[in-house]
Amino acid sequence: MKVRTICPFCGSGCGMYAIAEEGKIRIERRREHPVAEGVLCPKGTFSRKIVYHEKRVKKPLIRRGSKFEETTRKEALKIVAERIKEAMKDDPTRVGFFASAKITNEENYLIQKLARAVVKTNNVDHCVRLCHAPSAAGLIMTVGSGAMTNPIGDVVNAKTVLVAGYNPFNTHPAVFRRMMKAKRNGTKFIFIDPMKSKSSRLADIHLQPYPGTDVVLLNAMAKLIIDQGRVDEEFVKSRTVGYEEYVKGLEKYTLDYAEKVTGVPKDLIYKATELYATNKPSVIYRGMGITQHVSGTQNVIALAMLALLTGNIGKPGTGLCPARGQSNVQGACDMGCMPNMFPGYKKVNEENAKYYAEKRGVDYVPSEPGLVTREMIDAASEGKIDVLYIVGENPVISEPNNLSVREKLEKAPFVVVQDILMTETAELADVVLPAATRLEKEGSMTNTERRVQYFFKALDPLYEAKSDFHIIVELAKLLGADRNYTTVGQVTDEIANVVPIYRGITYDVLTKNEFGVARPYDPETGKSETILYAERFKTPDGKARFILPKEILPEDLIPNDEYPFLLISFRLLEHRNSGAMTHIIPELHRLSPEPRLVMNPKDAEKLGLKDGQMVTVESRRGKVKLKLKVADEVREGVVAMPYHFAETNVVVPHGFFDEVVKMPNFKGVPVKVYA
Ligand code: SF4
């Protein structure tokens, strides 16, 4: 049977067909799909290999001493439910949930509903804490909503594209393809990134600031726009508030100051600013090079200010486009899998708690924000959380100072992992529940451009795996939930009713629209708002906010004589996140089987290091040995490691966070390198 499905890897959301026959799965391209356009990158092409992989969790497992024993799902879930009930009796906040950016909207919705309406805790979070939490926060603060303003295909309408901390060639090949098309049509590109990449070959101007200095660079660009009289005054006057205060705060951000702090020559900053502000329409794309800092939210705000100053928002070819990483990280956020947000980005507070309790037909849902992912791990190791329930995430690899995460999970009283693969985190669990792959289930996902798409099951789950929907519904029943869902579509319809930004996006609408619909969607006209903010921003008064972004750079994140280099991480085309799903695919793994430390040739020469030799990279918190790659892909003073290997987060320290969203500082870590 040939069914419509979606690639399980990146947030582009490429549609494809899956055909299951005689113990094999074939993937076929969908030429007519508006994102994929009949093209799949290597990850999408080989995604089918996960289904039959020997590393699948085949049966439910229970820990007995240092070993696992196979059991039935009924028995495993009974034990899990009993542990949760016991913890709830004392205090519901003694239970914590990790939802997942890899699973469907319906499944994420049910996980946070289980946490809030049944267990009565807001301890629910997911890997957005490691990637784009600052995007949501910074955009909500400035323009009122935390998602991409314009669709991916609209990039061809831009005359200038500013790409900040983002390598679309490796991260979202479907986006890069559109950018190449734009380039061929004459669009100009500005890159802001300490690294050179295949993507930055598009650059007409490439600024390579020291990691952690983006606020200074962007504030200087903003000041220059104002000083040069390039502000769209009509737009600022009619559509924004806070301009005067903002302008006052920019006084110190001269080009000289910016050059000194960022290391970018001032004439390049000048040219880039001129291009962005005058060669309009201009759009801004950005990635984790912007968000994964102590100043992540400030960086997001600083970029938004450029768009507001120049009126580059609310029209074709303009906008603010945070390219979301995992396949359904947008959906998991939209569904409220964050400890301080109910579904639809409603703040966790008394008023919204009442709304959701009423909508869910329960007496109450808690109105105090819960813990973020790392806080839950810490709390579990300190005996403050009794049950940690982790769905489809691998914090043992993906959290900073990951060796300490391993130790903490070993100390945690009771850890449940629900996953398709036996990950490093699953190895430490007390109970492991086998979950279905994307091809073995159905549901909806929301891609980075807010496109909500429904996909169908190509084959029944293998072994004793079940969909996350199925497992969560069973667990909720054991915990006394009164709603008995029998189909995924019932949850899709509940989301359309309960989550304001998904109003009208029912099962019927999604299954009839084979390429999905963007949210927000108007069920009366059948049209979506594909470009946001044409007339109003999503703030209470409809106006965008000028906010002065703060410079934040703790002393411990500044290089010195002992730790002279700044370490950043980057993504590879062939891997995704912790690499749990890509390292097991031979065709992908052999392209990058091991991490390498990238160092500029001038730095390597100064240290007497040679390409290919083993080196140690050491921060104040950890050290690893790996091979050296000498290449001018990084600027002098900066070294880089790929994100998808355990080694990187051994070196990245725990303890430095974005103050707004508690995002760890993954980039700009002072290190030394030696043979
Ligand atoms: Fe999958 Fe992203 Fe590649 Fe498309 S671009 S095939 S969604 S990994």
Mean pLDDT of the 8-21 span: 94
Burial 288-307 (b: 16+ CB within 10 A, else e): bbbbbbbbbbbbbbbbbbbb
Residue 360 in contact with residue 392, Cβ under 8 Å? no
Sign of CA dihedral 4, 7, 8, 10: negative
Report whether pLDDT(577) > 80: no
User: In a mutational test of the pocket of ligand 1, which residue from 33, 172, 330 has the highest number of ligand atoms less than 8 Å from its CB?
Assistant: 172
Looking from the CA of residue 174, the nearest atom of ligand 1 is 5
Which residue spans within 44-181 are E strands per DSSP? 61-64, 67-70, 95-98, 124-125, 160-164
Q: What percent of the chain has pLDDT over 90?
A: 87
| pLDDT for the residue numbered 654 | 87
Burial 629-660 (b: 16+ CB within 10 A, else e): bbbebbbebbbbbbbbbbbbbbbbbbebbbeb
User: Ligand 1 in contact with 43 (CB < 6 A)?
Assistant: yes
pLDDT band, residue 131 (cuts 50/70/90): confident
Edge-to-edge strand ranges of the sheet holding 15-21: 2-6, 15-21, 24-29
User: Ligand 1 in contact with 12 (CB < 6 A)?
Assistant: yes
**Average of per-residue pLDDT values in the chain:** 95
User: Ligand 1 in contact with 14 (CB < 6 A)?
Assistant: yes
d(CA 256, CA 584): 49
| pLDDT for the residue numbered 470 | 97
Angle between helices 296-310 and 214-227 (to 10 degrees): 20
Report whether pLDDT(14) > 80: yes
Other beta carbons less than 10 A from residue 237's beta carbon: 10
| pLDDT for the residue numbered 10 | 93
Tens-digit pLDDT profile for residues 516-561: 999 999 999 999 999 999 999 999 999 999 999 999 988 899 999 9
H-only helix segments in 91-193: 105-113, 133-142, 168-171, 173-184
pLDDT band, residue 645 (cuts 50/70/90): confident
Is 0.85 surpassed by the pTM of this model? yes
Tens-digit pLDDT profile for residues 400-428: 889 999 999 999 999 999 999 999 999 99
User: Ligand 1 in contact with 404 (CB < 6 A)?
Assistant: no
| pLDDT for the residue numbered 465 | 97
Residue 159 in contact with residue 317, Cβ under 8 Å? yes
Q: How far is the CA of 16 from the centre of ligand 1 (A)?
A: 10
User: Ligand 1 in contact with 11 (CB < 6 A)?
Assistant: no
Tens-digit pLDDT profile for residues 487-513: 999 999 999 999 999 999 999 999 999
pLDDT band, residue 443 (cuts 50/70/90): very high
| pLDDT for the residue numbered 200 | 97
Which residues, 6 or more positions from 197, have their beta carbon under 8 angstroms from its beta carbon? 167, 169, 170, 570, 633
Residue ranges of domains in the chain, CATH in brackets: 3-50 (2.20.25.90), 61-130+367-519 (3.40.50.740), 133-322 (3.40.228.10), 555-674 (2.40.40.20)
**Cα angle at 240 between 239 and 243, to 5 degrees?**
145
User: Ligand 1 in contact with 179 (CB < 6 A)?
Assistant: no
Looking from the CA of residue 447, the nearest atom of ligand 1 is 7
Mean pLDDT of the 130-154 span: 93
Mean pLDDT of the 586-604 span: 92
Looking from the CA of residue 173, the nearest atom of ligand 1 is 5
Higher per-residue pLDDT: 649 or 318: 318
511: amino acid identity, one letter: T
Which residues make beta-bridge pairs with 440? none
| pLDDT for the residue numbered 361 | 85
Mean pLDDT of the 171-183 span: 96
Which residues, 6 or more positions from 23, have their beta carbon under 8 angstroms from its beta carbon? 52
User: In a mutational test of the pocket of ligand 1, which residue from 6, 14, 446 has the highest number of ligand atoms less than 8 Å from its CB?
Assistant: 14
pLDDT band, residue 23 (cuts 50/70/90): confident
**Residue minimizing CA distance to atom 4 of ligand 1:** 14
User: Ligand 1 in contact with 40 (CB < 6 A)?
Assistant: yes
User: Ligand 1 in contact with 434 (CB < 6 A)?
Assistant: no
User: Ligand 1 in contact with 173 (CB < 6 A)?
Assistant: yes
Report whether pLDDT(578) > 80: no
pLDDT band, residue 655 (cuts 50/70/90): confident
Mean pLDDT of the 74-101 span: 96
Q: What percent of the chain has pLDDT over 70?
A: 100
Sign of CA dihedral 466, 472, 473, 476: positive
User: Ligand 1 in contact with 174 (CB < 6 A)?
Assistant: yes
Mean pLDDT of the 173-192 span: 97
| pLDDT for the residue numbered 112 | 97
Tens-digit pLDDT profile for residues 451-474: 999 999 999 999 999 999 999 999
| pLDDT for the residue numbered 255 | 98
